[in-house]
């Protein structure tokens, strides 16, 4: 019987997997660090590990399906948030097994990656994943704060309900103001963001690259925490260092007033 992915779909993965194409940067890093010889292709956005040298198949939302087929993968790795159902269906219709992950919390990430590596990639669970599990089980949250977490501007978009990043922040003591919004990534006018009563604005450097000079000026009088987006939004080897990388940044806030 074929193992089922996170969506409950049986995936006909061969008993021995030799070629994997990943359509998600976090999953690419997961495979590359765990079993680098397996990775046969990745998206243009897959930037880790540094110097990754594999064929590219365009982006997460517009993968080159013909190129993927040419790479003859034993399995393609995807994510329900990152990849379009139409592309997944097209690959499966072409006879290519596609393993879909679905990750909305830190615990889901740890469990999903464990299953993906063992059942979709047919490799032993790596020591770094056990370490990540241990690290997150021992996290001591910082002082409780409420935050707005923009991920894009023009238009402004923020973390809403059921997001991995929102759960990671919650475990670190940061409550997302929009955690119960009906949408996962709602578009919110800037004046509304400034009127939430939140005592912190968390600005990651991806997917939108917020910087010292691009983003904080929009929130005068509010505490700003600029954080590494990979540690906040990626699930993979970065999970090991994420708590110790994020907590100091969430504490070392700066208040911007009148553009200063």
Rounded CA-CA distance 198/120 in Å is: 42
pLDDT higher than threshold 70 for residue 159: yes
> At a CB cut-off of 8 Å and minimum separation 6, what does 55 contact?
40, 41, 42, 67, 71
Average pLDDT over residues 10-38: 96
Average pLDDT over residues 94-109: 97
Q: Give, in order, the Cα–Cα distances in Å from 149 to each of 2, 11, 16, 163, 184.
A: 39, 36, 42, 11, 12
Tell which wins on pLDDT, 37 or 251: 37
Q: What is the pLDDT of residue 201?
A: 97
Residues shown for the chain: 260
Average pLDDT over residues 29-42: 95
Residues of the chain with CATH 3.40.50.1980: 20-135, 142-256
Average pLDDT over residues 167-190: 97
pLDDT higher than threshold 90 for residue 253: no
| Confidence band for 239, pLDDT divided at 50, 70 and 90 | very high
pLDDT digits (tens, 9 = 90+) for 121-155: 999 999 999 999 999 999 999 889 999 999 999 99
Q: What torsion do the CA atoms of 258, 206, 185, 216 make, to the nearest 10 degrees?
A: 0
Tell me which CATH homologous superfamily contains domain 20-135.
Nitrogenase molybdenum iron protein domain (3.40.50.1980)
3: left (phi over 0), alpha (psi -120 to 50) or beta: beta
Mean pLDDT, the chain, as a whole number?
A: 94
Preceding peptide of 155 cis, ω within 30°: yes
| Confidence band for 257, pLDDT divided at 50, 70 and 90 | low
Is residue 81 within 8 Å of residue 108, measured between CB atoms?
no
Other beta carbons within 10 Å of 13: 19
pLDDT higher than threshold 60 for residue 259: no
Residues 170, 116, 38, 21, CA torsion sign: negative
Q: What is the pLDDT of residue 258?
A: 46
pLDDT digits (tens, 9 = 90+) for 199-238: 999 999 999 999 999 999 999 989 999 999 999 999 999 9
Is residue 20 within 8 Å of residue 28, measured between CB atoms?
no
pTM of the full predicted structure? Answer: 0.91
Rounded CA-CA distance 40/193 in Å is: 43
- For domain 142-256, is the CATH number 1.10.1240.10? no
């Amino acid at each position: 019987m074929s193992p089922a992915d996170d969506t409950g779909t049986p995936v006909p993965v061969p008993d021995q997997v030799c070629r994997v194409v990943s359509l998600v940067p976090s999953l690419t890093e997961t495979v590359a660090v765990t079993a680098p010889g397996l990775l046969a292709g990745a998206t243009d956005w897959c930037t880790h590990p540094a110097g990754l040298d594999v064929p590219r198949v365009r982006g997460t939302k517009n993968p080159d399906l013909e190129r993927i087929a040419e790479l003859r993968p034993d399995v393609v790795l995807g994510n329900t948030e990152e990849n379009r159902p139409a592309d997944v269906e097209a690959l499966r219709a072409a006879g290519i097994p596609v393993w879909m992950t679905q990750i909305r919390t830190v615990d889901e990430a740890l469990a999903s990656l464990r299953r993906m590596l063992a059942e979709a990639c047919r490799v032993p669970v790596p020591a770094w994943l056990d370490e990540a599990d241990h690290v997150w089980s021992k996290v001591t949250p910082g002082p409780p704060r409420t935050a707005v977490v923009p991920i894009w501007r023009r238009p402004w978009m923020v973390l809403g309900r059921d997001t991995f990043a929102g759960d990671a922040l919650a475990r670190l003591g940061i409550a997302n103001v929009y955690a119960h919004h009906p949408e996962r990534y709602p578009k919110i006018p800037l004046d509304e963001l400034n009127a939430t009563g939140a005592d912190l604005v968390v600005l990651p450097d991806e997917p939108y690259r917020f910087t010292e000079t691009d983003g904080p000026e929009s929130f005068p009088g509010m505490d700003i925490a600029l954080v590494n987006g990979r540690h906040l939004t990626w699930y993979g080897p970065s999970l090991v260092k994420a708590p110790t990388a994020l907590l100091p940044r969430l504490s070392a806030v700066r208040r911007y007033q009148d553009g200063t």
